[in-house]
Amino acid sequence: MPNPKRRHSKHRKRIRRSHHALLMAPANRCAHCGAAVKSHRVCDNCGRYGFEKGGQKGTAVLEKQEV
Ligand SMILES: [Zn+2]
């Protein structure tokens, strides 16, 4: 088994890991109300799902309840 000849310094390790940061997942916009929505999820704001198709802005999936 090949082994490393020298240990890497903290500096080398940190340089290597400088590319490991996670990015925020890009948010989509709801076709109906324009709120930020995760992909493949129903909109939290208006309860519709999907994109604009043939003049129809998303499919109504959930009824919004008044609290
Ligand atoms: Zn919406």
d(CA 61, ligand 1 centre) in Å: 11
Residue 39 domain boundaries: 26-67
Q: How many domains does the chain have?
A: 1
Q: Is the pTM of this model over 0.85?
A: no
d(CA 62, ligand 1 centre) in Å: 11
* 10 lies in some domain: no
Query: pLDDT digits over 1-28, tens only?
Result: 899 999 999 999 999 999 999 988 778 8
* 34 lies in some domain: yes
d(CA 23, ligand 1 centre) in Å: 24
* 36 lies in some domain: yes
> What are the φ and ψ backbone dihedral angles of 53, each rounded to 5 degrees?
-135, 115
d(CA 66, ligand 1 centre) in Å: 16
DSSP 1-67: ----SSPPPHHHHHHHHTT-PPPPPPPEEPTTT--EE-TTS--TTT-EEEEEETTEEEEE-SPPPP-
Query: pLDDT digits over 32-67, tens only?
Result: 888 888 888 888 888 888 877 666 777 777 777 666
